[in-house]
Chains A and B, each alone.
Chain A
Amino acid sequence: MTTIQFVLVIVVAMITGMGSVLDCMQTHRPIIACTLVGIVLGDMRTGIILGGLLEMLALGWMNVGAAMGPDSALASVIATILVISGHQSIPAGIAVAIPIAAAGQVLTIFVRTIAVFFQHLADKYAEDANFRGIEMVHVVAMLLQGLRIAIPAALVAAIAGTSGVQSMLAKIPVPVTRGLQIAGGMIVVVGYAMVINMMEAKYLMPFFFVGFSIAAFTTFTLVGFGIIGLCAAIFYIQLNPKYSLVQVHDELDDL
């Protein structure tokens, strides 16, 4: 890894870390974060493949309300560095990504707790109508979320290419790596379960089972499923009597 690459990795890590709290441009999603790190390290193709596989794994990971999912940003950045600069296999990268996602969640909880201090600082600035002060507080808290990924990324990037790390990774016993790979096939359902729980609409669950059954007995692609799902939604809404009746009751009752 050249010095420029090292610096760029840190910059990308900052962006994904801030993206992870902002949930804005989606730079924290594996499919984007791994691709960016791949580009910086000169092996975009590996980054994209790893990102695609990790994205499948992390599909439903999300922060809703105050609840938080595992940290896809840290997992993506570190795993990509280890695979490309540390010369690990892609399955090995996926296996290490998951424990790292757990560690990342702890880090983000830590930063979100520290940010309470900034909240009170902002209160103080509001007292004097100090606009710049409040803006600065906001930006500094956001930069801390970036550092939360950038610092671990810098540490890993500094040692990933060394023989010490590689022999350490090589020493992980086979049952552990194979076991992690097997678990990878199951872990995807955690994300699905998060999504389904969030929808919280028992009366719509038949659509879930229709999707499941069609997938079980056909080889339709995702685009095919998207079209069928969209049509099903349109049918449902068009035929649903609750939308065709003139509303006679107070709308607030619906909320």
Chain B
Amino acid sequence: MSEINVTKAGVSLEESDNKLTKGDLRSMFWRSWFLLGSFNFERMQSIGFCVTMIPAIKRLYKTKEDQSAALKRHLEFFNTEPYMAAPIMGITAAMEQERSNGSPLDDATISGVKIGLIGPLAGVGDPVFQGTLRPILGALGASIAATGSILGPLLFFIPFNVIRILTLWYGINLGYEKGTEIVSEASGNTLQKITEGASIVGLFIMGALVCKWTSINVPLVISKVKGSDGKLVVTTVQTILDSLIPGLLPLLLTFLCMKLLKKKVSPIAIIFAMFGVGILGYIGGFLK
């Protein structure tokens, strides 16, 4: 990545240097909210990325040829976690700025940096936002919402969006100011710590939810014994399972689902299979 750090090599026309304004970056920030708007199966987020880059392209390139080339550069395949796309947008804007000022950054370098960042940043964004933040805030909000209180939706909506907006804002701005530096800095320890920490919290809460929020009841009677006090003690499959550890069946079912999903069985197919089991279980009397 050494070529990228070559700044404005051989260009000494300071006044005519292209530079993005604060307004350009603000416009990019707003556009980044809509990154996924035209998601398609061919190049996924590519149009959204290009639309986010438009303010920068307009500022940096004046001839039609240069503008067209820049637009095409950013209509290439792009797909990452939508909030962690922000630093990539900032970094790309910084690279375009250097290129427009005569730095020898060719198309392949710019694309290479973009594509190279997709994987690592999705690797951070997915566990942090999709795997931890949203399910946890969602669970918290849902448990309150189930009582009918408006606090439930608000407790989900406000914190999530505050964190999302800060991520987009600082992602674009820091990415632009620090360039690829920010990634090499962060990929050292900070990002890994955040990812691992979030995964721990996420998995911990998932463990709790599997036990608490899943209800499977197998009321099949195994024995009816008259206790010493003359009361009838009914033992069902469920009471035996619960005496081992409550939530055993949900746990096993979760592992089964994980296996099926890994084998590319669609979630919808699994859900419909569960419908079938639920209906048969009710008719057959082995589920309640």
Residue numbers of A with Cβ under 8 A of B are: 18, 21-26, 29, 31-32, 35, 44-45, 48-49, 51-53, 55-56, 59-62, 64-66, 69-70, 98, 101-102, 105, 112-116, 118-119, 122-123, 125-129, 131, 134-135, 137-139, 141-142, 145, 175-176, 178-199, 201, 204-205, 207-217, 220, 222-223, 225-226, 228-230, 232-234, 236-237, 243, 247, 251, 254-255
Q: What are the residues of chain A within 8 A of B188 when measuring CB–CB?
A: 247, 251
Q: Are A112 and B41 in contact (CB under 8 A)?
A: yes
Report yes or no: A228 in contact with B204, Cβ–Cβ below 8 A. yes
Which 3 A-B residue pairings sit nearest by Cβ, starting from the closest?
Answer: A211-B207, A52-B145, A179-B279
A189 to B187, CA, bound (A): 33
Known: A51-B145, A64-B126, A179-B278. 7 other contacts (CB 8 A): A26-B157, A56-B139, A59-B139, A135-B54, A192-B209, A220-B208, A234-B197
Whether the pair B214, A22 counts as a contact (CB closer than 8 A) is no
Q: Is the CB of A211 within 8 A of B47?
A: no
Asked if B71 and A134 make an inter-chain contact with CB atoms under 8 angstroms apart, the answer reads yes
Q: Are A179 and B251 in contact (CB under 8 A)?
A: no
B197: chain A residues at CB < 8 Å are 233-234, 236-237
A25 to B287, CA, bound (A): 38
Near A by CB (< 8 A), chain B positions 52-70 give: 54, 57-58, 64, 67-68
Q: Which residues of A contact B114 (CB under 8 A)?
A: none
The verdict on A131 contacting B54 (CB below 8 Å), with A24-B34, A126-B72 known, is yes
Distance to closest chain A CB from B204 (angstroms): 4
Question: Which chain B positions have C-beta within 8 A of A182?
Answer: 278-279, 281-282, 287-288
Please report B residues at the A interface, Cβ cutoff 8 Å.
33-44, 46-48, 50-51, 54, 57-58, 64, 67-68, 71-72, 75, 79, 81-82, 119-120, 122, 126-127, 130-131, 134-136, 138-150, 152-153, 156-157, 160-161, 164, 184, 187-189, 192-193, 196-217, 245-247, 250-251, 253-255, 257-258, 261-262, 267-268, 270-272, 274-275, 277-283, 287-288
A176: chain B residues within 8 A (beta carbon): 279
Q: Which residues of A contact B277 (CB under 8 A)?
A: 183, 186
A115, A127, A198: which contacts B39 (Cβ < 8 A)?
A115
Residues of chain A within 8 A (CB-CB) of B148 are 45, 48-49
Could you say which of A24, A98, A141, A180 contacts B82, with CB atoms under 8 Å apart?
A24
Cα of A176 to Cα of B126 in the assembled complex, Å: 36
Q: Is the interface of B mostly helix, strand, loop or mixed?
A: helix
* B267/A115 in contact, CB under 8 A: no
Contacting pair A204 B196 (CB below 8 A): yes
Query: Is A215 within 8 A of B208, CB to CB?
Result: yes
Chain A residues near B205 (CB-CB < 8 A): 211, 222, 225-226, 229
Which residues of A have CB within 8 Å of B156?
A: 26, 29, 31-32, 55
CB neighbours (8 Å) of B142 from chain A are 31, 51-53, 55-56, 59
The contact of A66 among B79, B275, B287, by CB within 8 Å, is B79
Give CA–CA (A44, B127) in the complex, Å.
Answer: 32
Interface pair A21/B258, CB less than 8 Å apart: no
| Bound Cα distance from A45 to B130, whole angstroms | 27
11 contacts between A and B (CB under 8 A): A45-B148, A49-B147, A131-B54, A141-B47, A186-B215, A189-B257, A192-B254, A193-B254, A199-B202, A213-B207, A215-B208
